[in-house]
Amino acid sequence: MTLIPSTLERIRRHLVGLRMPRALETLDSTVRQLERGEISALEALEGLLGEELTLREGRRIKAALKMGRLINIKTLEGFDFSFQPSLDRNRIMTLAQLDFIARHEVLHFLGQPGCGKTHLALALGVEAVKGGHSVYFMTLADLITSLAKAEREGNLRERLRFLCRPQLLIVDEIGYLPVIPGGGNLFFQLVNARYERGAMILTSNRGFAEWGEVFNDPVVATALLDRLLHHAIVVHIEGASYRLRRHADLIPDNNRVRPINQPNQPKPRGRPPKNKQA
């Protein structure tokens, strides 16, 4: 099949008018394949449209990641599951199917610093963007700061409405930094507004029993957990820090972290038992 120059030129003008730069770029090579009989007319058309769709999808994902503050891109393929044997890889891959977003559930990643909580949260956020979901990412400190600023300026309702729009809200680093006075109440208002309306992913290095201390208010912490644990998926990561894996021998024993929610073993009372052989 041979395309005459006038027809080919009209196709080029159509592609320019339709703003299809990738299809225009691959047009000549596609025509040569068509003339050599390597592909059919339908395959040529599919190829041109497929190239353009791939370009546009890449642009959409890039823009959505930027709007969602997902600047530090992480992937599930880049996560070292062999370093964290406490994690069930199949369970994480099931979560990557994103059904929890449709069910408006809250996914908790709990573990010590460096164990991969943020990596997994970001990776699932990237998967959500690829799946067409709107995502927004913030640390708890930045989130509360933005809510406090909106409250001072009289825009709290608008800010809460903005943070309720994403289908998935990721809140990172709960428990790492002190929460400002009144911050727990502001976070509760957001959680309450999203309750059963939007999915969330939360990461924390503190067990739920410590949230009263984290938010400096046991009453607010109880109200938060009442909503955040109602429709919840909790993933405990019990491994050590991935970032410090090559320098673990430099950390003193008394500074090594313990798994969260695991109390210290009490020391036995009284004198040690006598050695029978002695």
Structure tokens that stand for 85 in this block: 């044997």
Dist CA 48 CA 22 (whole Å): 8
User: How high is the pLDDT of residue 238?
Assistant: 87
User: How high is the pLDDT of residue 242?
Assistant: 66
Residue 170 forms beta bridges with which residues?
137, 201
Question: Once rounded to an integer, what is the mean pLDDT over residues 243-262?
Answer: 51
Inter-residue contact 206 to 113 (CB < 8 Å): no
250 pLDDT more than 90: no
Q: Model confidence at 240, in pLDDT bands (50, 70, 90)?
A: low
141 pLDDT more than 80: yes
Nearest to 172 by CA among 134, 196, 143: 143
- Provide DSSP, 86-152: TS-HHHHHHHTT-HHHHTT-EEEEEESTTSSHHHHHHHHHHHHHHTT--EEEEEHHHHHHHHHHHHH
- pTM score, whole prediction: 0.81
**Per-residue model confidence as pLDDT tens digits over 59-74:** 999 999 999 999 889 9
H-run or E-run covering 171: strand 168-174
User: How high is the pLDDT of residue 277?
Assistant: 45
Question: Once rounded to an integer, what is the mean pLDDT over residues 197-206?
Answer: 97
Overall fold of domain 81-255: Rossmann fold (3.40.50)
- Name the average pLDDT for the chain: 88
- Category of 270 on φ-ψ map: left (φ > 0), alpha (ψ -120 to 50) or beta: left
Q: Where are the domains of the chain?
A: 5-67, 81-255
User: How high is the pLDDT of residue 6?
Assistant: 85
